[in-house]
Amino acid sequence: MGSERDSVAAVILLAAGSGTGMKSRTSKLLHTLSGRSLLSWAVAAAEGVNPDRLVVVVGYQKEQVEAHLNDIAPAVLRAVQEDPRGTGHAVACGLEAVGDTDGEIVVTYGDVPLLTGETLRRLVATHRQAGNAVTVLTSVVDDPTGYGRILRSGDDILGIVEHRDADDAQRAINEINSGIYVFAAQTLRDGLAQLTPVNGELNLIDVLTYARGRGERVGAFVEADHWQTEGVNDRVQLAALSAEMNRRIVAKWMREGVTVIDPATTWIEAGVSLEPDVEVWPGTILRGATSIAAGAVIGPDTRLTDVEVGEGAEVLRSEATLAVIEARATVGPFSYLRPGTQLGPRGKIGAFVETKNAQIGEGTKVPHLTYCGDAELGAGTNIGAGTIFANYDGTNKHRTTVGERSFIGSDTVLIAPVHVGDDAFVAAGSALTSDVESGALAVARGRQRNIPGWVEKHRARTARTSRTTTEKE
């Protein structure tokens, strides 16, 4: 909860809008930026001021939004704006869930993903230091088109005029209203009660006019980073904010000792962890809870999702999800590591190899053209090209185990369930259906037969016989 000094009474987070500009069946607030939903970013920022109560006002597609809240922030309070009638009405719905309280109430939005808790804390600090009844978060932008303009007299805010209502002189003002505020609780409560509809809507801005009419101080906190006031209304804006967030994340890791060869083509989500001296090559996407240890080289053209990469490992032109790649192991090019893959130290998963639920031991190599699913391979084993671990019988999955220091010849099919012992050899082209004991050689293929004259007798129009006929003519 925090003390009176480092907390606020409540945050009302507005998340009831229709978001029709996204043209999506999914709520706008559930669209993602840097691996997290817009709503998740907004809740995290709101929690940065340690509110005694955090209320999310839902409305349009509320079932989706509330289900998502159950996943990311189940403890927050919810208020429903059944009939959307403007920002003032939305805040009034949220205030009902807050109940009677003194102190400060912060109003923010669910679609401003670059806003940070630190900025909200500075907004609240400014509000307290100036003794304001209302403090608005503003920013100065190059192109203020479409935004409400801030009307000032020194440090006092005289009002906010919407773009459509502004005259030419007011439209020349480039300080804009973010729509994010801190209110003294009683001022907000009384001001909302005095609102009258305009075109059927109650406008929260009118509470500022009400406060000034009572002789209360209305001030502003100017945020230099205008991106923190930018909202998402359509997919164009989502892409722009995603690119800016990614630029910041990539720059942060570079300052912490990570080499990023081409920041413009590298995407790193917020939950990723990188150690110094990691190299990230162009076209790389790092997602989820991926962690990469010092000295690892990733890319180019690689996507890792929830993958753990050990020190000094290399991953080249590959895809991996929910996998572990241990120290000094190598992956790729063109490898596909599916969930449950664990590649041991100095192991190798090579070109055009697919793995799934496979534990591959230290120094073991699966170099190329192999499917390795539901398998456990001991240390120092080599898997020849074209080997298939046939794990599915059409109904159930079965597991294959191969011991240490064993050799599986090229073009072998291991038909699970089957076990190959330590130091065993399996001849190329075998189809194993039975276990192979340690130290044994397994040959599971038919004996070769060569039948002289068969082609001329049975395939008279082959290239060979046609050529012989032509030569005779």
Q: What angle do CA 229, 271, 323 make, to 5 degrees?
A: 155
H/E segment holding residue 254: helix 235-255
Type of residue numbered 213: G
CA nearest neighbour of 358 among 322, 306, 317 = 322
CA distances from 11 to 179, 180, 193 (A): 14, 11, 19
Catalytic annotation on 89?
no
DSSP lists the bridge partners of residue 151 as 159
Contact 52, 101 (CB under 8 A): yes
Task: List the structure tokens of 357.
Answer: 């639920």
Contact 373, 387 (CB under 8 A): no
CB atoms within 10 A of CB 261: 14
From 31, 68, 127, 368, the catalytic residue: 368
Q: How far apart are CA 459 and CA 450, in angstroms?
A: 16
Q: How far apart are CA 129 and CA 339, in angstroms?
A: 53
Contacts (Cβ under 8 Å, ≥6 apart) of 403: 378, 381, 419, 420, 421, 422, 423, 424, 438
Q: How far apart are CA 67 and CA 257, in angstroms?
A: 39
Task: List the structure tokens of 424.
Answer: 């065993």
CA distances from 340 to 3, 156, 210, 291, 359 (A): 45, 60, 61, 16, 8
- What DSSP designation does 462 have? S
User: Which residues form the catalytic set?
Assistant: 368
